[in-house]
Each structure stands twice: as C-alpha cells, then as structure tokens.
C-alpha cells in the first residue's frame, strides 16, 4: 500500500495551510483576475482603476521634502588672510 499524496503545496492534516492561490481577486469587482490583466479581471476593471488614479480617488501622500532648502555651505570659503 503506497500512499502517494505528495501534492505540491498540499495542506496538512490540520487543514490550516491554504494552498497557493493562482489568481488574485480583482480589486475592483473581486472576481478572479486574469494573467494578462493582472491584478484585474478584465480590461474594463483595469480602466476603472486607472480612472480612479487619474481622478484622484486614491489619496497619494505627498511626503516629499526638498533636501536643498536652507543650504548655506558654511564649510566652504576658508580663505581668510
Ligand atoms: Zn474586475
């Protein structure tokens, strides 16, 4: 009797291990995404998501500081008589 149950990524007896998901749910409609349009399920959903970005529906944190502000360069010009 040979127990051939060596599946790749097979869950153990505790059943807590979730097998690797092939398709990720579409962030727009929660449908299984397709590979060519990952992570979306259709071209339409992709456009919807793109449109959200363009219309500013997504909040983009503008954490950008200018490093060149208040530069005196005090360590330069030591040519005093
Ligand atoms: Zn979708």
List, for residues 4-35, the tens digit of each pLDDT value: 555 566 555 666 676 665 668 999 999 999 98
Query: Which CATH number applies to 22-57?
Result: 3.30.50.10
DSSP letter at 25 equals: B
- What is the 35 CA–ligand 1 centroid distance (Å)? 12
25 exposure class (CB count in 10 Å sphere: 0-12, 13-18, 19+): middle
- What is the 5 CA–ligand 1 centroid distance (Å)? 35
Residue 33 neighbours by CB under 8 Å, 6+ apart: 23, 24, 25, 26, 39, 40, 41
Domain range summary for the chain, segments of one domain joined by +: 22-57
Q: How far apart are CA 43 and CA 50, in angstroms?
A: 10
Flag whether the pTM goes above 0.85. no
Q: How far apart are CA 21 and CA 70, in angstroms?
A: 51
- What is the 19 CA–ligand 1 centroid distance (Å)? 23
């Amino acid at each position: 009797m040979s127990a051939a149950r060596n599946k790749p990524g097979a869950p153990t007896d505790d059943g807590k291990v979730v097998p690797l998901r092939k398709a990720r749910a579409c962030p727009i409609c929660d449908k299984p995404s397709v590979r060519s349009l990952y992570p979306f399920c259709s071209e339409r959903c992709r456009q919807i998501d793109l449109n959200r970005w363009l219309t500013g529906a997504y909040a983009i944190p503008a954490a950008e500081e200018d490093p060149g502000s208040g530069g005196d360069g005090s360590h330069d010009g030591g040519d005093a008589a």
